[in-house]
Structure formats: structure tokens, C-alpha cells
Structure 1
Amino acid sequence: MEKDDIDECINIAICIDDNYCQHINPMVYSIEKNTREKVRIHIVYYKLKAESLENIIKLNELLTNVELKLCRVREYQYDWLSKFKENSLPTEAYFRLLLPELLPDVKRILYLDVDMLILDSLGKLYRTDLGNNILGVVRDFPFTNDKNSWSYFFLGEFGNRYFNSGMLLMDLVAMRKNNIVRRFMEFILKTSQHYFLGDQDAFNIFFFYNVKILEDKYNYIAENQKILQKTNLEVVVMHYCGYSNPKPWLIYNDGSEYVQPAIRLYREYQRKINKLISNNPKVLLVVQENRYNLNQVIESIDYQNYGNYEVAFIPLKENSNAEILKKDYPQITIIKSRNDLERMVGSADYLYYMKNTSYFSEWDAISRLVDSAIEKAADYIIVSHRVFSMKHGNYQVQHESKKLIDISDRALEDLIIEKPVIFTQNEGFLVKKEILRKSNSSISQDMPDATMHLHIFNNAERKYLYDRLLWIKVDFEN
């Protein structure tokens, strides 16, 4: 292919709504860190809230060799795509169909799903010679590896050619020349009732004779590692998709030893870029080891999107798993003495206590609590929670108003009578370090008991209940 047929700058497209916008930071940051050439990322959207746009602006200010450009889908284009209602995919999933029209001055585009991490330079991929083909793609290994899978049912004997549409290297010049946008959309309207995987199936049928199959490393599906029983981080594009749903912003209950390292790597990128963007105060999570549910407790901390936190881990006196955890979760500091805890408290702005078998139920729980504390200049915020009974196998769920309720003029004793499930817990509250110092001049290595919680509560001046179910307590007894 002639050099003039490919843009000098690497052009990438990602398609988002508000839900996906909150997950773009790690992928964009990984491109910045691992691609040495100039990159322009076209962010395709229809409507975004102010906070989403603000995040994009902040992210763009931090980047040096990556530029973010907003590209809005027009009303008539959105109306076209809204006709595809035969499956559960949001309309935004089809935005990539419009790229030849949305980016008229771009010759070639690398479309990427948001749930990806870029681990090496994209230059070689972007300049791949496609020959007479319109798309460069990678086989969808979990399907093509299994002759009883959807791909073989869908494509018959050619099931091994079924590709994953999360990465598409697209020749936009050829697509415009052949009026692909109109033809493809008409094709989907006629056939979408037969699809299992939405426009991915449409891409496979429509472009069947016009794709170049590329190496797996350019769209390496995280779940491959479980199938192959090996961890491979020596890839260019890691894609966090698959039936076990290994999204790094969800608790990964599958627990595959082969997939987990890739998920932890994503979360490292997430913490680094979010720390750079937000410059938020440091939160020290004080966690008491228990004999039950420990992996889920630590996993729920690891998937937090908050960029500036540390974990002070108080181990059991006997048969502790602390050293094993430390290997997998380097942000954990094992507390061996009062001095260890004092030192960590000294560098923190807020503390949050977790004990027994509690775990966060939302990936942005810490972010929400800190944002609320900053907004209200609060010294103390306690949060609602759910209780899961192991004995009965169900949740005890109270109503949540999702409001910040000022309890500054209330007595803890009265609140305990009104809301015993919340206020009898000596955990689940975020407190400023200064209030802790006032409450207990000698920071104990033990977790807060009822007396210490009362001192903390009474010494705080601005106190709030965040009435949102952000954490879960597992009850092994009742």
C-alpha cells in the first residue's frame, strides 16, 4: 500500500455514552504510555452529561502524544441507528457504522472498544497492508476454538473465520467509494432479527469476503487465557470481554488465575490515571482480616476507581493469609505494629474502616464518598449498606433515598434507635484524620469498637448519612 493512502497520524475511534465515558481513562492512558507515535482519538457520541465532558477535557490536558477530539453524531444519523431494535444493544453500539461519514478527512481508522488496554505501540497495526480488503480483524478465539459454538452455527464450515468486532482496522476511503454506510445499514435492517451478537454478526456476514485476518495479539480476548491455561501480557491489545464478563470495573468472581493478572494490570492503569486527573485526598482503608470471604473483600477494594488510596491490612494473629495477599495486591501494607499504622495514618487525609466480611458493592464507592465529603466539607460520612445472610441465602435490603442527609445535630444514640442496621456498625464510615486524632490520641491497632465510634461521632462537627447501598455485610450467623 502506498504511504499516501494512510494518514501520518494514527487515527483511533471510540464510541461512548455517559456509561462508557466513565471507563475510557485507563485505555486512553495506556495508549499514551505505550504508543510512541502521534495519536488522535476521535470520541464519537450523541449526548454526554457535563461531568463526562469535563472528564474528557481533564484527560486531554494530561496527554502529550495523544489528542482527544469530540465527534458528535447528528440527530438524523441517530434516528437511523435507532431503528435497529431487534436486540438489546444500545444505539451507541452502532455508531462505528457511521465512521466513514463522521470522519470525512480520515483515510483509515482503528476502531477500538472501550473495554481494552493497549500494551504496545499501535503503529505496526495501523499501517498493516490490507491489500484489497476493507477491514483488518482478529478471530474471536473463544468461538472459533469451539466447533459447537455460535460462530459455527452462524457461518457453518467457515466458523473459524468469525471475528470479534471490538477491534476493526477500517479503510474509510474504500468504504466511501463503495457507499458502504448506506448499503450496510440497509442490510442490518433486513437481517438483524437473526443476530445473536448484534452488529458483530452483521460485520461478519456483510464483510465476509473483504477482511484480512490479523494476529491474535491485536485483539487478545482476556478469556483466552483461561481457555489456554496461561497468562499472556505480551500482546498489543488486551480485550476484557467474554462470557465470564471479566470487566475490570466489576468484581471478578470467576477468579481465574490466568485472567486475574490482566485484570489487575488494567486496574493499575486506572488508579494511575485517575490519581493524575483528580488529585484527590488520600484515603486509608483499614481492613481487618477475617477467616471468611476475604478474597471478595480484597477484590472489592482492588476494583475501586479511586486513584489515591492505600490499604492498612490488620492480619489475624494465627493462620494469616496476609503474605499471600501481598503478592497479588501490592497496594496492601501489612500492619505489624502500632507504629506501622501511625505512619500510614499520618500520610492520609481520610480513613475508612472495613471489618468482619464487608465488601464494596459499587466500583466507585470510595469516589462517591470522598466527593460527598468534599462537597459538604464533612468530617464524617456514614453510608447505608445491604446485609447478605449466608444462612438464608438472601439480602436484607432497606430503602435507599440516595441522598446526603445532614445528621450534624443528631445524637448517635437516637440514630441507633431509628436506623439500627446502619448506626450499630463500627465500620462503613469515612472520617477525617483530624477527627480521629481528637477522638483517640493513641491510634489503636484494633478496629473501632462502639466506644471509639461514639468518640469519633461526637468529635465530628459536620456529619452526614449517605443513604446509598455502597457496601455489603455478609452475615454468617443469622
Structure 2
Amino acid sequence: MHIAFSATDSYVDYMGTAIYSIIQHHPQQELHFHILTRGFSSHSRFKLSLLESELVSIDVIEVNAGLFEGLPLKENISLETYFRILLPNLLPQLPRILYLDCDILVKGDLTELWQFDLNDSYLAGVNELDMLHRNPDYRQKIGFETDDIYVNAGVLLLDLAKMRKDQITELLFEKAEQLKDSIDYQDQDIINIALKGKIRPLAQKYNVTSYLREVSQPPLEEAAIIHFNWHKPWRKDQNSLHYNRPAFQLYRNYYQDYQQLTEQPITLLVNAHQVRPEALRQCLTSIQQQAYQRLDIVVLVSEKEADLLALARQYLDQDHRFRLREMKPTATRLDYYKQGIATTYSPYLIFVDAEDWLDADYVSGLYRHLYHEEADICLGAFTLFNEEDGIYSFFEPEIHQGSRTSTYLLENLFGLKWYESYRHLSLTGKIYRRQLFSQAHLINDYQSEDLWSLMLYLASKTLAFNGERTYVKRLKRVEEKQALHAETISLRRQELLSILTSFAVCKIPLQHVLNYYQEQLQILLETAWQLHERELVTQLEADLNRLTSLKLLASDKP
């Protein structure tokens, strides 16, 4: 069975729901879907690919929209509605096709419809009673009497071979040019007028439109295809008419199942620890505009930051996906993330610094690569922004797109200073499988973000890389340093020793880790000197002396 749709990027989920409903009612049927579009985003293509199987294929065909310039468009109707005119030429190998609008739901077997005998007609469709009863004057104006067949173009069975033979596509374009100033229903009018007398009627159950649902002809349980030609079940403001409610609820059930299949829930933890209101606004707006829609967005804000709380609540009012968690004023940046993790059960987590901002494909790109590589973590390329001079820095990722082991990452990237500072030792810029946080069971013992990152790498088996630059970090934010005192120096020293031990136990190559360990001990030593903490100075000097021996053992030298 070959089925065609025309769709925009904004309608891909509604078309996807229609495709999903067809698949559910034809589990043993070979199905080939042909999608006509001006262009889909990579995320839309990815979601559609998740509907494919051994029996189901989806072919996306990009159409030259310039062919339809100058043709009339009614409000809320896209140019894609004309694309079905091109089907005979776009699919020259097919003898017939079933064309469906995106705003339909299939709730029955379409085999009988697919095998319908067209005789000598070019196409078949359901006589539209909506226009006959709600707009009879217009119907008569364009030359259709009460007994004439005028079909709704949302469900059409097309004889492509006969249409090619008789050059019907060329005829429809000629009619479109002739009629463009006198018609209201675009290509539906063009098809009905040009092919009048050569269209066979289908049973009403194959296109149960708004009027048919209102008069219950046929009853909803007998419908094979429900067509939401006026009121849309995904719009809350169109839920008032009682005769729509059963069909709307049925659609929403399928839509929810489709979403479960194509977009797993992902939690974004937005860390607004000591950020500026304007930066937070930019960040939240960029998140709101993500192509990936099924997001749980938790904004972490201090309970004492009244301006940030007020700003965050604006987004809560606009978008049900946003949540707010108020933090204690004494909480650290890492405390924000720790408490945020405890608020969600999504299978995937993304950490976002509220001073940064994301391109629309950021979440989608990370998830796609994580999914395809069956990885535990996906890292993405990034851009560094210096607010003082307005300069963007583009670091070469130095990683080929694909999957790697954590050993590869730690061995080959740890020595790149830009990578350590801006990506490798930060929780941001990555997507994580939630299960990692239970596997890295000692993670909560650490008080440093860089050591959290390293423990998560150690817990992962496979890392994926997305080379697209879809994340922007602010340089000023990256370079902020935590003030150290005697207690924090001592704690940091113990944590560094612990992470070094973990690397050794896991047999991770130590050379770069030892270099990093040495640099961090040197920073602690200098601070201890400044604070006149003699005992800490003695301990750190001893650590550095021991480190020299360890580095010799880890090197290739005898």
C-alpha cells in the first residue's frame, strides 16, 4: 500500500500521528509512505525514521515550491496543499496512490479502500457534505448542483498511471491559473472542477468530516478515517463542540502514543546560580524554541533572587513544560544541580548554565547521536562568546562524529587545555542517560563539578559526539573561580586523591590525569601559602613529591 502526505515542518507531528494510526491498523501490511515537503528539519526526519520497520518505509520528497507561485492561499492553509497535484510525475513508478491530509486519524482497515475499482475515473473521494449543507451558495457558484459529486480532497485514491497518460498534472496547473481569482478552496476546487465527471464517490466512512460527526453519519465506531477538517484536536481553544469530543479524545490517545515512540522525555536543569536576569531570559527563550518538544524544564533559582523568580514564573505561565525549584541562598552551583536531579525521573538529563544559550537543534542533535550510537553520554561542539569584545571563538572539536569509549576520551582529550576548561570538565554541553547517576554511586560525595564529570565518564561505556555547533558558552562565566579557604582546600585535596584512585582501579591511562592532578595540587599549594596554612602546605608538598614518582611509573620511561 502506497500512501502520500504533504506536510510542513510544523505539521510533522500531526502527520506522524496519522502514519502511526495507519501502522497500528495494518500490522502485517507492507506500507510505503511518500512525504511531499519544501524541506524538513533533521529532527523531523529523525522522528519519522523511528516509525520505520521491515514493513514500513518513509520517503521524503522535496518539492520545488516555486512551481506554485501566484496561486491563491486561504488563511491557515500552506502552499503544501498544492503538492498533491504533482504526484503522477513525482512517483512515475507507481500505478496508484492513496493521498491523505495530515489532520486525519485512521481507525480501521484501509485494504478495501486501497483495492477500490476506479474504473475509468482519475480518482475517488468522499462527497463533501460540509460544503453542501454549510456553504451551498458557493458550491453552486463554482458549477456544482445538489446531485453533483464534489469531493473533499483530504482523502483521495489516485490512478497515477491514467493521470500520467492523460497529462492531468498539466491540466490542473492550467485550471489553477484560470481559476485562481474565483475560487476559495485552492486545489480542492481545482481538482473537482477540472475532473468533474471523472471522480468516483467513496463511502463516507473513509472521510468522516466535521459535518458528518455532527450528524453522526456514519456513527464514529464505523468510521475508518476521521478527518479534522475544521476543528483541530491539538488546539485547546477548539474543544467546545460536544460532537467533536469522542473523536478528539481518540486522536489525543494516538498522539500520546506517537510521542512516546518518537520523543522520550528529557529533563533540562537550568542553573540560575548568580546569573543576570537578561542572560536568564535569553537562555530560557532559546530553550522554549527547541525543535525537541517533549521537555521537562526545571529552572533552579535562589529563593532570595526576586527578579529571577519573577522572570522564571513568566515562562511557567506561558509554557506547561517549565517548572521552578527555589534554592537556599547558601547553595552552591553544584548543589543546584544535585537538588535538580532529585526532582525528576526522566530517562535523560541535560545540564544548562543559565548564562549560556542554545540553538534550536541543540537538544535534538544530542539525543539523535546518543540514540544512534547507543551511548551513555553525548557531547556536542560549542562556541565560546566573550562579552567584553563581542568575539565568538570556534574551537575545532578534534573528535570525529560517532562513538568512542570513555578511555579514548580521557586519553586523547584530557591534554587539550581548551577542552578541559570549557567542555571536558563541565556538566554542560552533554546529554546523559539518567542511569549513569546511579552507577556512579560515589558521585554525591564530590563537591566539585569537574570531578562529577570525570566520575560520569568512568561510569559510561560509550560516548557519542555531535560535531554541530549548537551551544554557546559565555567566557566570563566559564572563568569564574570558587574562593578557596582551608576547609575547601582540604576537601579538594581528598577528592583529587579519590578520583586518581578511581582512574587507577579502572585502568584508565593516567598520564593526562596526572598532569591535571599536578596542576590542581599546585593551585591548592599556592593558595595554602597565601592563607599561611602551614599544615596544608606540608601535606600538599608531600602529595606533589609522591606525584613525581607516580608520573614516572605511568610513563614509558624505565
Offset from partner CA, 1:115-146 (integer Å, 9 cap, x none): 11111111110111111111101011212235
- Aligned match of 2:145: 157
Q: Look up the SS of the partner of 2:92 in the other structure.
A: coil
Code of the aligned partner of 2:57: E
Contact kept in structure 1, 2:50 and 2:261, CA below 8 Å: no
- Aligned match of 1:67: 57
The alpha carbon displacement at 1:456 in A equals 9.5
Distance of aligned partners of 1:408 and 1:115 in 2 relative to their CA distance in 1, 3 Å threshold: closer
Distance of aligned partners of 1:209 and 1:417 in 2 relative to their CA distance in 1, 3 Å threshold: same
- Aligned match of 1:220: 208
Contact kept in structure 2, 1:380 and 1:431, CA below 8 Å: no
Which of 29, 32, 50 is the aligned partner of 2:20?
A: 29
Say which is worse superposed, 400-409 or 221-230, in terms of deviation: 400-409
2:37 maps to 1:45: yes
2:179 maps to 1:191: yes
Distance of aligned partners of 1:256 and 1:400 in 2 relative to their CA distance in 1, 3 Å threshold: farther
Code of the aligned partner of 2:154: G
Q: Look up the SS of the partner of 2:142 in the other structure.
A: helix
- Aligned match of 2:3: 12
Offset from partner CA, 1:245-277 (integer Å, 9 cap, x none): x21211153422221111111111111122122
Matches within 5 A, 1:366-405: 370=267, 373=268, 377-378=269-270, 402-404=285-287
Contact kept in structure 2, 1:137 and 1:164, CA below 8 Å: yes
Q: Look up the SS of the partner of 1:194 in the other structure.
A: coil
**How far apart are the structure 2 equivalents of 1:424 and 1:219?**
42
Higher relative contact order (CA 8 A, sep 6+): 1
Contact kept in structure 1, 2:2 and 2:32, CA below 8 Å: yes
Distance of aligned partners of 1:156 and 1:128 in 2 relative to their CA distance in 1, 3 Å threshold: closer
Which of 276, 280, 291 is the aligned partner of 2:261?
A: 276
The alpha carbon displacement at 1:185 in A equals 0.3
Q: Look up the SS of the partner of 1:129 in the other structure.
A: coil
Distance of aligned partners of 1:274 and 1:131 in 2 relative to their CA distance in 1, 3 Å threshold: same
Highest Rg: 1 or 2? 2
Matches within 5 A, 1:442-461: 459-460=339-340
Distance of aligned partners of 1:56 and 1:425 in 2 relative to their CA distance in 1, 3 Å threshold: closer
Which of 133, 137, 143 is the aligned partner of 2:125?
A: 137
The alpha carbon displacement at 1:418 in A equals 6.0
Q: How many residues get paired? A: 323
Distance of aligned partners of 1:280 and 1:134 in 2 relative to their CA distance in 1, 3 Å threshold: same
The alpha carbon displacement at 1:203 in A equals 1.1
**How far apart are the structure 2 equivalents of 1:87 and 1:460?**
47
Distance of aligned partners of 1:380 and 1:59 in 2 relative to their CA distance in 1, 3 Å threshold: farther
The alpha carbon displacement at 1:103 in A equals 0.2
Distance of aligned partners of 1:231 and 1:256 in 2 relative to their CA distance in 1, 3 Å threshold: farther
Distance of aligned partners of 1:152 and 1:228 in 2 relative to their CA distance in 1, 3 Å threshold: farther
Distance of aligned partners of 1:429 and 1:261 in 2 relative to their CA distance in 1, 3 Å threshold: closer
- Aligned match of 1:357: none
**How far apart are the structure 2 equivalents of 1:426 and 1:190?**
51
Q: Look up the SS of the partner of 1:20 in the other structure.
A: helix
What is the RMSD of the two structures over their aligned residues, measured on CA atoms? Answer: 3.9
Offset from partner CA, 1:159-216 (integer Å, 9 cap, x none): 6522100111110111011111112101111111111111111111011110001110
**How far apart are the structure 2 equivalents of 1:147 and 1:417?**
54
Contact kept in structure 2, 1:145 and 1:160, CA below 8 Å: no
Code of the aligned partner of 2:192: N
Distance of aligned partners of 1:425 and 1:97 in 2 relative to their CA distance in 1, 3 Å threshold: closer
2:232 maps to 1:247: yes
The alpha carbon displacement at 1:92 in A equals 1.4
Say which is worse superposed, 140-149 or 189-198, in terms of deviation: 140-149
2:69 maps to 1:82: yes
Runs of 5+ unmatched residues, structure 1: 1-9, 282-369, 382-397, 440-454, 468-478
Code of the aligned partner of 2:249: R
- Aligned match of 1:182: 170
Q: Look up the SS of the partner of 1:136 in the other structure.
A: strand
- Aligned match of 1:322: none
Q: Look up the SS of the partner of 2:304 in the other structure.
A: helix
Matches within 5 A, 1:159-174: 161-174=149-162
Q: TM-score when scaled to structure 2?
A: 0.51
Code of the aligned partner of 2:58: L
Q: Relative to total residues, which structure has the larger helix share, 1 or 2?
A: 2
The alpha carbon displacement at 1:150 in A equals 2.8
- Aligned match of 2:430: none
Runs of 5+ unmatched residues, structure 2: 274-280, 289-296, 329-334, 342-350, 358-558
2:302 maps to 1:411: yes
Q: TM-score when scaled to structure 1?
A: 0.59
Offset from partner CA, 1:274-300 (integer Å, 9 cap, x none): 21223336xxxxxxxxxxxxxxxxxxx
Offset from partner CA, 1:96-116 (integer Å, 9 cap, x none): 000000000000010000111
- Aligned match of 2:114: 126
**How far apart are the structure 2 equivalents of 1:203 and 1:54?**
33
Distance of aligned partners of 1:96 and 1:156 in 2 relative to their CA distance in 1, 3 Å threshold: closer
**How far apart are the structure 1 equivalents of 2:259 and 2:110?**
23
**How far apart are the structure 1 equivalents of 2:196 and 2:18?**
29
The alpha carbon displacement at 1:430 in A equals 4.8
**How far apart are the structure 1 equivalents of 2:107 and 2:338?**
50
**How far apart are the structure 2 equivalents of 1:270 and 1:54?**
17
Offset from partner CA, 1:212-248 (integer Å, 9 cap, x none): 0111011111442224498513211110112xxx212
2:103 maps to 1:110: no
Distance of aligned partners of 1:47 and 1:463 in 2 relative to their CA distance in 1, 3 Å threshold: closer
The alpha carbon displacement at 1:49 in A equals 1.5
Code of the aligned partner of 2:121: N
Code of the aligned partner of 1:247: K
**How far apart are the structure 2 equivalents of 1:132 and 1:57?**
37
**How far apart are the structure 1 equivalents of 2:61 and 2:39?**
11
Distance of aligned partners of 1:230 and 1:180 in 2 relative to their CA distance in 1, 3 Å threshold: closer
Which of 245, 266, 277 is the aligned partner of 2:251?
A: 266
- Aligned match of 1:55: 47
